[in-house]
Amino acid sequence: MVPYVAIAVLFVLSTGVAIMIMMVGSLFGPRHPTPRKLMPYESGMVPIGRAMQRMPIRFYLIATLFIIFDIEVIFLFPWALVYRQLGVFGLLEMFVFLALLVAGFVYVWRKGALEWE
C-alpha cells in the first residue's frame, strides 16, 4: 500500500490546485458580458444557423466503433514486445484475438454500420 501513497498525494494536490485556480479565476476575473462575447465562437467566422443542431446517430456509431477497434489494436503493441517469451501459446492466443477482432469488423461491415450516407 505504501507505493500508492505518492499517487494519492499527487491526485489530491492536483485536484486541489485545479479547484483553487478555478476559484481564483472566478473571484478575481473580469466579468463584462456583451452580446458579442456571448456569441458562439466558430473560428472567427460569423455563426450561421443554430448553434445546437442534431447530429445523425450514424456519426456516434462510427465514432464508437472507431474507438473500440482502435483500443483493441493497441493490444498488439505489448504483445509484439514479448511475443518470443510467450512462445507458441502466446502466438495462438493472439491468433484467436485477431480472429475475433476480424469477425467483429466483418459483422459491423456487413450490417452497414460503416456506410456514411
Whether residue 94 lies inside any domain: the answer is: yes
What pLDDT digit, counting tens, does each position of 22-67 carry? 999 999 988 888 887 877 776 777 767 776 777 778 888 888 888 8
Model confidence at 78: pLDDT above 80: yes
Whether residue 116 lies inside any domain: the answer is: no
Query: Does residue 67 sit in helix, strand or coil?
Result: helix
Whether residue 66 lies inside any domain: the answer is: yes
pLDDT at 29: 87
Q: State pTM to two decimals.
A: 0.50
Whether residue 105 lies inside any domain: the answer is: yes
Distance CA(101)–CA(105), nearest Å, equals: 6
Distance CA(103)–CA(111), nearest Å, equals: 12
Whether residue 18 lies inside any domain: the answer is: yes
Whether residue 32 lies inside any domain: the answer is: yes
Structural domain count, the chain: 1
Query: Residue 108's Cα: distance from chain center in Å?
Result: 20
Distance from the first to the final alpha carbon of the chain: 53
Q: Which three cell numbers stand for residue 63?
A: 465514432
Residue 43, domain CATH: 1.20.58.1610
pLDDT at 51: 65
